[in-house]
Structure 1
Amino acid sequence: MLLYTIAIRCFGLLMRFSALWNLKARNLMQGQDLAWATLPTGGENDKSEGESKKPPLVWIHCASLGEFEMAKPIASALENEHPGIRILFSFFSPSGYQNAALSKHHVKAYLPLDTQQNAKKWIAHWQPSLAIFIKYDFWFNCIKETLSQQIPIHALGVALRPRHFLFTFFGKPWLKLIRKFQSVGVINKAMLTLAQNKGLNNSFVFGDPKFNRTVQRLETIQLLPKILLHWVTQNNILILGSCWPAEISFLNHYLKINELPVGWKILIAPHDIRTEHCQEIAKKLEVLKPILLSNHTHNKDTDLSNTSTELGDCVILDSMGTLAECYRHSKIAFIGGAFGKGLHNIIEAAVFGMPILFGPNHSKFPEAQQSIDAGFGFSISNQTEFNETLNRLFFDSNLLAHCAEISKQFSISQQAHILKFCKSLPKIV
C-alpha cells in the first residue's frame, strides 16, 4: 500500500496548491481542516450522575449529494428502530457537504484525507458505534482503522460489475477488507451472484435506495407554473430530461424527415440552462419554434384556454427545480448524458410510468440495463435506432401503455429493503 499512501499524500498537496485559485479545492481543504469539530451531545436526558453522556453514533459516509439522498431514508429508519442514536454524515465532495440539508439531530463533516494518522484520529474523535458506506467510496485507511476498533461496517446500495475496481489486481487489498464487513448490500440478484463468486459471502440483495426517495414523490405533488401545467396536461409530452447537444441533435435530425404527430408536444430540460445555451437549442430546433418558459411565466394574466397556441409545439424549461414534477405529466422520456460520460437520472422518470430512451454509455448505471431487461428502457446508438424507436412509441398506443405500466411497477419493486435491514441490526450502543 506504499503507492496508495504516496498517491494520497500527493493528492493532498495538489489540492492545497489548487486551492489558491480553485474554489472547489479551497472548500474541500477548509472543510477537511474543520473535520474535527466537536460532536454535539444531547440535552439534559443524556446526563447521568452529573456527567454528560454522548448517545450512540452511527457514521454514514456519502461521497456526494446523490449518495446523501440515498442515505436519508436509511438514517430515518435507523432512528425509528433505534431511538436515541445520533447520525453523522461524512462527505468527500464539497457539493455534497454544502448542499446536504440535515435534520435536527444530524451532524455532517468532511472526511479527512485518507492517511493512517487521520483515520486513527477520525475514529478516536467520533467514536462511532456503527459505520455505513453508501454505494462506494471505500477509503482504505478509514475502513482498516474502523475494523481494527471492532466497529461493525455495512455497505449498502453497492453496484458491482465484472470490471469493478474491487475485482482488479490493484483492488485486492480493498476486497480483502470488505470481506470483513458485517454485510454488503448489493442492488440485485445478478450482483449478488457476482459478489459471492468473488468471495463476498457477506453480501445480500438490499435493493437500490435511489428508488425509495423517488417513489415517495408519487405522493408529493409539486406546483408547476399554471401556464406550463395546463400545457402538459392538455397534450402528450415527449420530454428531453437533462439533455446535452447530442440528444438535441438526434431530435433535430428526426424532425427533418418526420412530422411531430398530432397531439404530441416536446418539453426540453437542458442540463445547461444558461440563456445563451437555451437560445442555441431554440435555433437548432427552429422548425418547432421553441419558446423559453421564462418568457411566459411572468405574465399572470395569461388566458389558459390559449395555452397550446401561446406555448406552441416545444417549450424549453430554462429554470431549475421542476424537472422531476414535469416527468409526472410526460408520456415518453429521452434522458441525456449517455452519449457522453454518463447517464443522468432515469429513475425520476421511470417512477411516473413511461418508456425511456438513452444513449449507449450506461454501463456504470445498473438501472439502465435493468430497464432494458424489463422492457421499458431503450438504448440508442445511432439515428436510425432513435427514429424507429420513437415512431414505434408515437404510433403504437398499446406499446406505450405497456411500457408505462411496467416502468412504474419496476420502480416500486426495486426499492431497497431499508426497514428489514434496520430491524436486523442488534441494539446500537
Structure 2
Amino acid sequence: MLQHLYNWMMRAYFLAIKSFGFFNEKAKKRAENNLNYQTVLHKRKPNAPLAWFHCASLGEFEQGRPVIESFSTQYPNWQILLTFFSPSGYDVRKNYAAADIVCYLPIDKPKDARAFVQAFQPNLAVFVKYEFWRNFLINCKEKNIPLLSISTIFRPSQLFFSPFGGFQRQVLHTIDHFFVQNEESAQLLDKIEIKNYSIAGDTRFDRVADTLKNIKAIPLAQKFVADKLCMVCGSVWPEDMEVLLPFMAQNPELKFIVAPHEIQDSEMSKWENRMENGSLRFSNAEKHPDLLQAQCLIIDNVGMLSSLYQYGSFAFIGGAFGAGLHNILEAATFGMPLFFGHKKYHKFQEAHDLIAKQVAFPVANYSEFQDAYNRIDFTKRQQISTDSRSYIEEKTGATEMIMHWIENHIPVDQ
C-alpha cells in the first residue's frame, strides 16, 4: 500500500515539475531532460565494469568528487557514470573529465528506475550524503549491485527515526555500508539497529585540502587586491548583498571580491549602482584604468571561486539568509575569519565546529556584521588562521577510508 502511494507521489511530482516548467527555467530543464540518459547510452562500453556515483547537486558533487577521482585513478579500466538530480549540478559538471558518462537521474518512478539500472548495469553504486531514492536502490539491491552511502549525515527530525518511519527505514537496509560524517549520525543508525557504518567524516575536507595543494593563480585578482586587506564574498545572494553593501560603504579601506551565486546581469547592475566606492566586473577589468582604485571586483563567471579565496584576508559565505549556507570549507582552508547569515547554517556540522572555535561568525544584519569585524585585530586573525588550518588538517582522511573499504569488498579487478 505505502509503496503504491510512494510511486503515485513520484508520478505526481514529475507532473508538477512539468507544469511548473512553464514559469521556471530550472523546472523546465529538469522535466525536459528527465530521460536524457538515453542520449548517452552509446558511451556505455558493454565489457567494462562501471561505477555509478549519484549527487543531488553541486554541493554533493564536491563531496563525491574526491572519491570519484581516487577511484578513476586507481581503477582506470572501470567506466564512471555520474548522475545529478538538479540542473544546477548537471549544467556545471556535464563535461566533468573524470566521468565517462554524465546525465540526469530520472525521477524515481518504478518503470524509469528499472530501465535505468538495466541500461547501465553498474557494478557499484555510490550515493552521496542523503540521496535515498527508493526504486533505484531496490532495483540495485535486487541485482546484487553493491551500494554505498558516503558523507552521509542524519538528523533526528528525519522520518527514518520517527516511530511512524518504518516504510522510510526500509530503504536504508538496501545500503551495504554507510560512511557517516559524525557521531550523531552513527547513534541514529544504532537507534534503528543499523550497524553497517563507519564514522569517516566529510570527504569535502579531502577535496579542499587537495585544492590548497593545487591552487591556481589569478593575476588580475592579485593585481586588484595589491597589498590591501580583502574580503572574498563567495556564492552571495541578493539577501547577502543587503548586509554587504552597507558594510562596504562603511569600510572603504577594505577591498572586496564578490562572486554571485547566480550570474545575472540585472542583479549585478543593481549592486553596482549602490556601490559608493567603485566597482568593476572581472570580464572587463583587465584593461580598465580604475582597477586599482575600485573597491569591489565582481566575478561574472563561474569556476574560480576556490582559487579566489587565496587573496582574502576575510570571507563572507552566501546562502545562509535564504537557501542554505554554501561551502565554507574552501575559505577555511586558507585560514581566515568567516562570516555568514544567521538563519540557514544549522545543518552544516563544519559551521558549528568553526563557530565554536571562533573562526566563523553568523550575523543577523549589517550592525552585527560590523561589530564582529571590528573585534578581529591582527593578533586575532593570526590565531584564527592557525585554528582554521588545523581544523581542516584534522578532518581529512574520509576518502582513504572509503577507498580501503572498496578495495576489500568490491571485485575491482573485473
Question: What is the TM-score when the length of structure 1 is the normalising length?
Answer: 0.83
Aligned to 1:280: 270
Aligned to 1:38: 41
Report the number of matched residues. Answer: 404
Aligned-partner Cα distance in 2 for 1:110–1:272? 21
Aligned to 2:176: 182
Q: Secondary structure at the match of 1:372?
A: helix
Aligned to 2:121: 127
Aligned to 1:356: 338
In the TM superposition, residue 292 of structure 1 has moved relative to its aligned partner by 1.8
Aligned-partner Cα distance in 1 for 2:265–2:113? 45
Aligned to 2:255: 265
Aligned-partner Cα distance in 2 for 1:268–1:109? 31
Aligned-partner Cα distance in 2 for 1:109–1:307? 41
Residue 244 of structure 1: which of 237, 240, 247 is its match? 237
Aligned to 1:424: 405
In the TM superposition, residue 30 of structure 1 has moved relative to its aligned partner by 4.1
1:315-343 residue CA offsets vs partner (Å, 9 max, x unmatched): 13142244332211111112222122211
Residue 55 of structure 1: which of 39, 45, 48 is its match? 48
- Unpaired runs of at least 5, structure 1: 43-52
Residue 361 of structure 2: which of 366, 370, 378 is its match? 378
Q: Which amino acid aligns with 2:259?
A: A
1:10-409 aligned within 5 A = 10-18=12-20, 23-36=25-38, 38=41, 40=43, 42=45, 54-100=47-93, 101-103=95-97, 106-168=100-162, 171-226=165-220, 228-254=221-247, 264-286=254-276, 289-294=277-282, 297-299=285-287, 308=292, 310-311=293-294, 314-321=295-302, 322-360=304-342, 361-393=344-376, 396-409=377-390
Aligned to 1:7: 9
Q: 1:120 to 1:404 in 2, by over 3 A?
A: same
Aligned-partner Cα distance in 2 for 1:99–1:240? 20
Q: Which amino acid aligns with 1:5?
A: N
* Deviates most, 244-253 or 207-216: 244-253
Q: 1:230 to 1:163 in 2, by over 3 A?
A: same
Q: Which amino acid aligns with 1:423?
A: H
| Conservation of the 8 A alpha-carbon contact between 1:278 and 1:292 | no
Aligned-partner Cα distance in 2 for 1:22–1:387? 37
| Conservation of the 8 A alpha-carbon contact between 1:58 and 1:130 | yes
* Percent of pairs with identical residues: 28
Q: Which amino acid aligns with 1:38?
A: L
Q: 1:108 to 1:171 in 2, by over 3 A?
A: farther
Aligned-partner Cα distance in 1 for 2:90–2:245? 39
Q: Secondary structure at the match of 1:35?
A: helix
Question: What is the TM-score when the length of structure 2 is the normalising length?
Answer: 0.86
Asked if 1:411 corresponds to 2:392, the answer is yes
Aligned-partner Cα distance in 1 for 2:263–2:114? 44
Q: 1:111 to 1:244 in 2, by over 3 A?
A: closer
Q: Which amino acid aligns with 2:261?
A: H
Q: 1:40 to 1:240 in 2, by over 3 A?
A: closer
Aligned-partner Cα distance in 1 for 2:129–2:280? 37
In the TM superposition, residue 105 of structure 1 has moved relative to its aligned partner by 6.4
| Conservation of the 8 A alpha-carbon contact between 1:81 and 1:422 | no
- Unpaired runs of at least 5, structure 2: none
Q: 1:20 to 1:317 in 2, by over 3 A?
A: closer
How well do the aligned residues superpose, as a CA RMSD in angstroms?
2.9
Aligned-partner Cα distance in 1 for 2:329–2:317? 10
Q: Secondary structure at the match of 2:375?
A: helix
Q: Secondary structure at the match of 2:9?
A: helix
Aligned-partner Cα distance in 1 for 2:97–2:260? 31
